[in-house]
Amino acid sequence: MIRNPDQTESRGASPVSRLSEAQVSHAVDVLCEAFYDYPVMRNVIGSVGGDYDRRLHMLINFFVMARVWRGEPILGVSNGSDLVATAILTLPGKRQPPAELARLREAVWRELGQSARLRYETFGEATRKFEISQPHYHLNMIGVRHSHHGKGLARQLLDAVHAISHRDPVSLGVTLTTEDFRNVSLYRHFGYQVVGHARVDAQLETWNLFRANNSSADNG
């Protein structure tokens, strides 16, 4: 689930760093702002209004905690003491989820409801059809606060993700999905290729993309 990457150069941003567990709540806040009206969120938890904000926070917190409890990277860019951009990654290979994550998953779906769970599982099944079998990193989410759009922070995070994949001798590249067709050409600009496309329902479709470590984009 990826918002639009920013093609401009970063200006005056701090370096990308790996966030500590103490900073996780700030990453959740950034992603809630960035993905507020994203197609997957609206599909799973319904239309904006009522207790949408609380439900959105609960769902995104689950996504982020899944990375924390598996020891997977959460990257961030700060402006002073404020986190303004973040990305969460899944490492190559399968990992047994800890018991804490299983308990949180059940608590989230009890609160959001069985119909929301079924919609999310349908989305997941659509994306899994095009999974890359070779070891790779998966970019789960990347988001930038609205106040910092146009400063190249998404590009800065993407470059960091690609560098992590390059340094890992096991990884052959990076995958991601987007549910906004406008993003497809942007990710192609960064060296990604579409490996699958599926319509989940009348209101939601998804594109799976893969960027090999030897992408021509590495050479500009």
**Average pLDDT over the chain, rounded to whole?**
92
According to the model, what pLDDT value does residue 105 have?
Answer: 96
Q: Which of 125-139, 147-161, 206-220 has the lowest mean pLDDT?
A: 206-220
Quick check: 91 and 28 in contact, CB under 8 A? no
Give Cα separations from 104 to 63, 64, 98 (angstroms): 10, 11, 10
Q: How many CA atoms lie within 13 A of 27 on its CB side?
A: 28
Please tell me the distance from the alpha carbon of residue 155 to that of residue 85, in angstroms, as a whole number.
11
Is the CB of residue 167 less than 8 Å from the CB of residue 173? no
Over residues 29-66, the pLDDT tens digits come to 999 999 999 999 999 998 877 899 999 999 999 999 99
Structure confidence at residue 50 (pLDDT): 85
| Residue at token pair 């594109």 | 207
DSSP states along 1-19 = -B-PPP-SPP-SPPPPEEP
Helix (H) or strand (E) holding 108: helix 99-112
User: Residue 220 above 60 pLDDT?
Assistant: no
Contact 62, 105 (CB under 8 A): yes
Q: How far is CA 26 from the centre of its chain?
A: 15
Structure tokens that stand for 161 in this block: 């993700």
Q: How do residues 57-111 score in pLDDT, each as one tens digit? A: 999 999 999 999 999 999 999 999 999 999 999 999 877 888 999 999 999 999 9
Q: Which residue has the higher pLDDT, 200 or 49?
A: 200
Q: Are 38 and 3 in contact (CB under 8 A)?
A: yes
Spatial separation of the C-alpha atoms in residues 202 and 11, rounded to whole Å: 40
